[in-house]
Amino acid sequence: MTPPFTITQSILNEVAQIERLVGQLEGLQNIKPQPYLRKSNRVRTIHASLAIEGNTLALDQVTALLDGRKVLGSKNEVQEVLNAIEVYDQIQRFRPHVLKDLLKAHRMMMTGLIPTAGKWRSSGVGILKGTAVAHVAPPAHLVPGLMQTLFDFLKDKEVHPLIKGRVFHYELEFIHPFADGNGRIGRFWQSRLLIQYHRVFEFIPVESIVKDNQIDYYQALERSDKTGQSTPFVEFSLSMIRQALEGYLDALQPKPLSAKERVEVARDHFEDKQFSRKDYLKYFKTISTATASRDLKLGVDEGWLAKEGERANTVYSFVKGAA
């Protein structure tokens, strides 16, 4: 059974633009960003998806947790981030068309947060907007069958994968199959489906764009509820993907790096090895000796670099765990 939706001109235009942008990326020599940008995008993805659900930890706190450092925050919010880090770490291991893999991902995402992690809800649920009920999900006894039908739809080869993934996302939110965590698992599975469509989406924080348009996100869900089909949400979701691709393509264009960015790139290059200013200049061939000295001083002042020796014998190394 195919969920109700209409392929509008807006949807066709968005799909065409997304495919054009993906084509532009394929034409680049390397579509992977620098390691520090990959890490930044991953942090933004996790932070954004959880912030939409009300998690108040800041971006730098999520970064610290990703680096294995402790942060001050509520136990539940820290657990949410740690769970999300683990799930996104393993995103490619989940088979996008296998229902039991969705249950496994939900269990990992919600472990320690709810007692029914990885299990379908067993009671009715209504979604409130203020004090009013905005959406009543289908009865709990229908959830397993509805979810199986939805996963069967993912195998439909007649529907473009970009459209199919967005329909799936809306329908999952409509069914609301879990007691909690439906939004974050829906966005996670959207990411998994996008990676299946094209590997470039492994590096693109679509969730961050959605967070920046959070009001529109919920309004698109509401419009789809009112019309009885996912079309408004599909249109919105595709526009978010297009914007994320445009931002990613722009970020890959060569631009002068700031001093902090150069030091971050140097961390990925030198790792735990000691290096001199001369070594630094060999890696960044277009900067002057004075600029290299300023970069390294910044690294030392900020606590990112440890310095040993004096003058010509000075060597540097990156401080483990320093942001």
Per-residue pLDDT of the chain (323 residues), as tens digits, is 789 999 999 999 999 999 999 998 887 756 666 666 678 888 999 999 999 999 999 999 999 999 899 999 999 999 999 999 999 999 999 999 999 999 999 999 999 999 999 999 999 877 656 556 666 889 999 999 999 999 999 999 999 999 999 999 999 999 999 999 999 999 999 999 999 999 889 888 899 999 999 999 999 999 999 999 999 999 999 999 999 999 888 877 766 789 998 999 999 899 889 999 999 999 998 899 999 999 999 999 999 999 999 888 999 999 987 66
CA nearest 91: which of 110, 108, 111, 113?
Answer: 108
Q: Which residues contact 1 (CB under 8 A, 6 or more apart)?
A: 149, 152, 153
d(CA 267, CA 255): 19
Pinpoint the alpha helices (H) of 27-179: 35-52, 59-66, 75-89, 99-110, 143-153, 161-175
Position 243 scores a pLDDT of 95
Tell the residue number behind the tokens 């998690």, with chain if given: 55
Position 34 scores a pLDDT of 64
CATH class of the domain whose range is 259-318: mainly alpha
Position 132 scores a pLDDT of 60
CA nearest 292: which of 314, 308, 271, 272?
Answer: 314
Cβ pair 224, 230 in contact under 8 A: yes
**What's the angle, vertex CA 77, arms to CA 71 and CA 83, rounded to 5?**
95
Pinpoint the alpha helices (H) of 228-303: 231-252, 259-270, 277-283, 289-301
Cβ pair 127, 135 in contact under 8 A: yes
Question: How many other CB atoms sit within 10 Å of the CB of residue 107?
Answer: 16
Please give the CATH topology (third level) of the domain spanning 9-252: Fic-like fold (1.10.3290)
Position 135 scores a pLDDT of 67
Exposure string for 42-59, b = 16+ CB within 10 A, e = fewer: bbbbbbbbbbbeebebee
Q: Would the pTM count as exceeding 0.85?
A: no
Give the start-to-end residue ranges of the domains of the chain: 9-252, 259-318
Position 248 scores a pLDDT of 86
